[in-house]
Amino acid sequence: MTFLGTLRHWPCRRLWARVPRPNPVGSGGKAGAEATPCRGAHADSSLSAGVEVDLGRLEGADAGIVEVLMCRQRARNSLGKVFVSQMREVVAHLHGDGAVRVVVFRSLVPGVFCAGADLKERAKMTNSEAEHLVHGLRSLMTEIAVLPMPTVAAVDGFALGGGLELALACDLRTAASTAQMGLIEATRGLLPGAGGSQRLPRLVGFAVAKEMIFTGQRVTGERALQLGLVNRVAEQNEAGDAAYREALQLARQILPQAPIALRMVKEAISRGVEVDIDTGMAIEGMCYAKVRWPNLGCRGPHVSVLF
């Protein structure tokens, strides 16, 4: 694993050092994938708060998998100004990196994926500043949702409010059985403002989504799987990274597939669900036309057109 950036203070690195790395497929139990330097999203930064969001690139058998590492430890990955700014910078980097094949969003803070809004920070804002922040969060989630490559959120703890909205912006979600997820804004006199009121109903249906939002209900990983909120669930382990390990296995299953095919099927599905079936079929046809010989049937690195 390598990290993007050259800051002196590395909360991500200190936390990462304590997290065991699952072995790549075919490693025979040997050490994890080798890593090479990445171009830094924060290479010229001198943020006094340190790095709260970073990128790690896997190599060897896992080359092409990139991890978005959330490590705002003291504030449980809450969506403060610095966190959001760095996440936006990281996502912009992903949009422009043709070597990225699959992205895994994970937390390096034990017991939490993302705790949602930074309420202490928001309490100090004017109404105008708070509105600007929410608008920025909404656009950030859209930027994550339209990443051209498949994305997986590994929910190993609490994902509440904006934290669940971040997971909802990803294509796929894995969760630990003990994870807690919910859009709890109504319990604070608010409503989901970063896409939750739109993306949750598309996953679990209108009635279930309304119940969850109206009541501020939290669901476990097991219940989330039953509702269709997550794709896979795993019993939490002593290391506290069961969802991450499941997400990594899922990413490894995606990795060998033809990148252009994955990109086009993501576009066809994402655009198609917003329109009527006939228009959706036309979108599928346009996407299919972009997967041409000799790319058709090719897999992985043999495909001539990459992201």
Active site residues: 117, 162, 165, 185
Distance CA 287, CA 267 (A): 7
Locate 115 and state its tokens. Answer: 């705790």
Q: Which residues pair with 87 in a beta bridge?
A: none
Unique residue bearing structure tokens 């409503």: 191
Angle between helices 127-145 and 81-95 in degrees, nearest 10: 30
The tokens describing 295, both together, are: 């790319």
> What distance in Å separates the CA atoms of residue 266 and residue 151, rounded to the nearest whole number?
10
Which residue's structure tokens are 């991500």? Answer: 12
SS3 244: helix
Q: How many CB atoms lie within 10 A of CB 170?
A: 24
How far apart (Å, rounded) are the C-alpha atoms in residues 124 and 59?
43
- Is residue 98 within 8 A of residue 147, CB to CB? The reply is no
Burial class (CB in 10 A: 0-12, 13-18, 19+), 272: middle
Residue carrying the six token digits 């989630």: 141
